[in-house]
Each structure stands twice: as C-alpha cells, then as structure tokens.
Amino acid sequence: MIAIKPDPAQYPLQLQEKEAEFKAIMAPFDPPQAEVFQSPPLHYRLRAEFKIWHQDDDLHYAVFDGGRGQPPTFVEDFPSASTLINDTMPRLRSILRSSPILRRKLLQVEFLSTLKGEMLTTRIYHKPLDDEWATEARQLEEQLDMAVIGRSRKQKCVLSRDYVNETFRVQERDFHYRQLEGCFSQPNGVICQQMLEWACAVAEKSEGDLLELYCGNGNFTLPLSRHFGKVLATEISKALIRAAQANCDTNDINNIHFVRMAAEEVSAAMAGVRDFRRLEHINLNDYAFSTVFVDPPRAGLDEKTVAMVQGFDNIIYISCNPHTLADNLHTLTQSHRIQRLALFDQFPYTDHMECGVYLQRR
C-alpha cells in the first residue's frame, strides 16, 4: 500500500528494518555487505493514479484503502508523488469541475511525470469520447502545458503525444528516454538513476558482449552498452521494443540490437533447441557473450532461463522480489559467487524491496 501521508521522520527506521529483512533473506548465500540506496523521503514517485469520486456538483481524487464496501479516502495532495504531480492535481481538478464535458462519466485519472519536468495525464471514461471532448481536452493541454490522453472502452484518444521524455545522467553522460503511456517505466526517478549508476559501475571493467533479457524501453541497455563491444537485448512487448529502438537512435548508440523475444525463447535459441525467424538476421556465433543482464518480473527466472544464465561468466541481476531472487540464487550460487549486493528503496514506506546482485563464475 502506498503511503498517502508519509512521515519523513519515520523513514530512516523503516529503511533500517527493510535492510535487516533483506540481509536475512540473502544470508544463506554468504554475500558481501549490501550497498543501500535510499530514496528521497518525499516527492519520489513519478507516477500516480486516482479514482474520481463524483459527489453532488463536486469531484474528488480518491483511493480505496479499506476493505470491500468501505468509503473512499479523498486525496487533496499526494506528498509521495513528484512536485509536478502535486502542483497539477488541484489545477486539473478545478478545470474538470467547471467542464461538464470533461468530467461526465470520468472514472480515473493517471499522472506520468519526469525528472526533466514533463507531464502526461490519462483520463479514463465510461463513455465514448467525441470531437466535443477532444476540443475541450486540447484547451486543457494548453492551459496546463501537458499531454492529455483519453481512454474509453476500445478507444484511445491521443491529442498530441502518448509519451513523456526523460533524461538520466549516468557516469557523466546524459541518456534520453521516451517513456510510453501505459508501458512500464521506473516509478522512482532518483532511485532509477542510482540503479543505472550501480549497474554501470559493476560492468565497468567488462570485456566481450552483453545479452540482456527483459530490456523494456532500453532503460539499462543504453548506459550499459558503453561497457561492451555489442549488446543483444530482448523484450516481449512490441511497444517497448519500438521505444527502445527510438531511444537508441536518439542517443546515437549503434552497438545494440533489439529483438522481440520472451526469455524462454532466448533460452531455447541459446541452447540451439530451435530456430527463430526473429533471429534470422542475427548470428549468435558472432557474439562473444561474457555477461548477461536480467531484470525479470516478480516471479523471477524460470528454470530453463536460470540454466541458460549459468552459462555466462558474469551475471547482473536486478530483482523486484528478493524472495524469488533467493529461489534463483540457490541454483546460481552453485556455479557463481556473489561479488556485489545492493538494496534500492524504490518504494519507501512499503515492504517492497528492489535489489541488485552481481555474480561471477567460481
């Protein structure tokens, strides 16, 4: 559960408790001391979403943090979210209040902001969106200087663009990213930048080529590419592959090849079990893979992917679930030793732990 009104005075203690739990989970693998990266205690989230609660002639941002049938909690401001989101919330609410067209059957509002200062809002409706709605929404775009998207059943209305532009500075270089509405991006920008710095520091003295699984929009791929000869990066989402390639072009990086493949398919291709048409223009034998980078979903790596990953001398593993990471480490540490360990506090005031492990062959 995200804290609606976080108490910064409690943050150091909560982080200590999280660090102790993480240490206990990792203890069976005899790791080095974990590096701990703390979040800003306030205004750390670049994304937020709220239900819209209509009451008489008014409307409110609302969250439902109780049990079923419990009334909503109205949210006037959201200190966990970026300053830009907090500044936009009352201005947007005021405009919605005064516009019957924009507020009618409005169910939810989603905010996507960046460290760079760009903003996009998505509004979800229980009605078709027509030209009259689009006209007023365009005026709102101009008033609030942000991109606006409307969604309804089987309908997506993009008025100007469906992405925001972000910039992360990693090892004294700026990397520019297009982050798509509706697609995954790291919610805590400060922590994301620290994760990129950590991963690049781990890879700094690497040789050979890199294989990356679950590359998303190229978040890690772009800065990591500086430390390898060639990079083969895979992702299952078509939209994210397109964004990753666009980000690669924007940053003038030319040693990365993106392929739309699931981790299980990559494992099969690497093992020579079967051929894939999506790899017909790629000769895997042309790569001198020394390192694999993985950032899987909460379920962790499947058994076949773990076996494939063990074939690499170096493994960089970013995890959003230390328990499934531990499940994978029971196998990986039979062949590899943990050289570095990190805890990234992506979501303060929650039990969530984002972590990083760097393993080298024994």
Using CA atoms, how far apart are residues 163 and 120, in angstroms rounded to an integer? 7
Among 118, 181, 212, 354, which one carries the catalytic annotation? 354
Amino acid at 125: Y
Among 192, 248, 320, 355, which one carries the catalytic annotation? 320
Neighbours of 9 (CB within 10 A): 8
Which residues, 6 or more positions from 140, have their beta carbon under 8 angstroms from its beta carbon? 92, 95, 99, 102, 148
3-state secondary structure the chain: CCCCCCCHHHHHHHHHHHHHHHHHHHHHHCCCCCEEECCCCCCCECEEEEEEEEECCEEEEEECCCCCCCCCEECCCCCCECHHHHHHHHHHHHHHHCCHHHHCCEEEEEEEECCCCCEEEEEEECCCCCHHHHHHHHHHHHHHCCEEEEEECCEEEECCCCEEEEEEEECCEEEEEEEECCCCCCCEHHHHHHHHHHHHHHHCCCCCEEEEECCCCCCCHHHHHHHCCCEEEEECCHHHHHHHHHHHHHCCCCCEEEEECCHHHHHHHHCCCCCCHHHCCCCHHHCCEEEEEECCCCCCCCHHHHHHHCCCCEEEEEECCHHHHHHHHHHHCCCEEEEEEEEECCCCCCCCCEEEEEEEEC
**Beta-strand pair 47-55/173-180:** unpaired
Name residue 173's beta-bridge partners.
170
320 given a catalytic annotation: yes
Neighbours of 27 (CB within 10 A): 10
166 given a catalytic annotation: no
Catalytic machinery residues: 320, 354
